[in-house]
Chains A and B, each alone.
Chain A
Amino acid sequence: MTGNFDPGQKDHLVSALVRDEPRVLTRITSLFGRRGYNIRSLSVGSTEHPGLSRMTFVVTGDRGVVEQAMRQLEKLHDVVKIIDHSLEKFVDRELVLVKVAITPESRVEVRQIAEDFRARIVDVGRHALTFEVTGDEGKITAFIEQMRSFGIIETMRTGRVALTRGSNADIPSHVYHEGETETLRPVVEAAEPRETKAGGVPNLF
Chain B
Amino acid sequence: MTQTELTGAKALWATLSAHGITTVFGYPGGAIMPVYDALTFYPEVRHVLARHEQGAIHAAEGWAKATGEIGVCLATSGPGATNLVTGLADAMLDSVPILAITGNVARHLMGTDAFQEADITGITLPITKHNYVVRDVEELPRVIAEAIRIARSGRPGPVLVDIPKDIQLAPYHGEITAPHARPEIPAPKPEAIEKARELLQDAKKPVIMVGGGSLDAAAEITALARAWDIPVITTLMGLGSFPSSDPLWLGMPGMHGSVAANRAISEADVLLGIGLRFDDRVTGRVNGFAPNASIIHVDLDAAEIGKIVRTHVPVRGDARVAAQMLAEGAQKLDLPEWREKIAEWKTRTQEPDHWGAGYAVKAVVDRLRPDDILSSDVGQHQMLAAQLARFERPRRWINSGGLGTMGFGFPAAIGAGMAEPGVRSIVIAGDGGFQMTAQELATLKKYDVRNVKICIINNSFLGMVRQWQELFHEKRYSEVYLGDSNPDFLKLADAYGVPAYRADCAEELPEAIDAWLNDPKSSLLEIVVPNEHGVFPMVPSGASLSEMIETEPPRPTPGIEKNTAAEEAKNA
Contacts and interface: CB of A to CB of B under 8 A. Distances in A.
B146 A184 contact: yes
A67 B302 CA distance: 10
Interface in A1-22: 1-5, 22
Interface string B294-335: 000000011101111111101111000000000000000000
Interface string B187-209: 00100100000000000000000
B43 to A, nearest CB: 30
Given A184-B143, A205-B189, A205-B314, A30 B125 contact: yes
A202 interface: yes
Nearest to A176: B302
A187 B308 CA distance: 37
Contacts of A75: 129, 154-155, 301, 303
B79 interface: no
B287 interface: yes
Contacts of B146: 182, 184
Contacts of A205: 186, 189, 192, 302, 305, 314-317
B469 interface: no
B150 A77 contact: yes
Contact of A68 (B189, B287, B303, B310): B303
Contacts of B189: 205
A5 B6 CA distance: 56
Interface range on chain B: under 10, 10 to 19, 20 to 34, or 35 or more? 35 or more
Interface string B142-172: 1100100010001100000000000000000
Nearest to A70: B303
Name, among A30, A184, A205, the residue most crowded by chain B CB atoms within 10 Å (CB to CB): A205
Interface range on chain A: under 10, 10 to 19, 20 to 34, or 35 or more? 20 to 34
A72 interface: yes
Given A4-B311, A23-B121, A34-B126, A184 B306 contact: no
Name, among B146, B303, B315, the residue most crowded by chain A CB atoms within 10 Å (CB to CB): B303
B130 interface: yes
A204 interface: yes
Nearest to B188: A205
Contacts of B121: 23
A71 B316 CA distance: 12
B130 A77 contact: yes
Contact of A23 (B122, B150, B301, B303): B122
Contacts of A3: 306, 310
B139 A184 contact: yes
A177 to B, nearest CB: 8
Contact of A72 (B286, B303, B309, B314): B303
Interface in A30-68: 30-31, 34, 64, 67-68
A23 B129 contact: no
A92 interface: no
Contact of B310 (A2, A31, A71): A2
Contacts of B133: 22
B129 A74 contact: no
Nearest to B286: A2
A65 B340 CA distance: 41
A26 B122 CA distance: 9
A1 B312 CA distance: 15
Nearest to A76: B130
Name, among A4, A22, A76, the residue most crowded by chain B CB atoms within 10 Å (CB to CB): A4
A203 B51 CA distance: 51
Given A64-B306, A184-B139, A202-B302, A2 B287 contact: yes
B125 A23 contact: yes
Contact of B142 (A184, A202, A204): A184
Interface in A63-89: 64, 67-68, 71-72, 74-78
A139 B215 CA distance: 55
B167 to A, nearest CB: 14
Contacts of A204: 302, 305, 314, 316
A204 B189 CA distance: 9
A1 B286 CA distance: 10
A137 interface: no
19 contacts: A1-B307, A4-B310, A5-B306, A22-B133, A30-B126, A31-B126, A68-B306, A71-B302, A75-B154, A75-B301, A76-B130, A182-B146, A184-B142, A202-B302, A202-B316, A204-B316, A205-B189, A205-B302, A205-B314
Ranked 8 nearest A-B pairs via Cβ: A71-B303, A205-B316, A77-B130, A4-B310, A71-B302, A72-B303, A3-B306, A204-B314
Given A1-B307, A182-B146, 9 more contacts: A2-B308, A5-B306, A23-B122, A26-B122, A75-B155, A75-B301, A76-B130, A202-B302, A205-B189
Interface of B: 121-122, 125-126, 129-130, 133, 139, 142-143, 146, 150, 154-155, 180, 183, 186, 189, 192, 286-287, 301-303, 305-312, 314-317
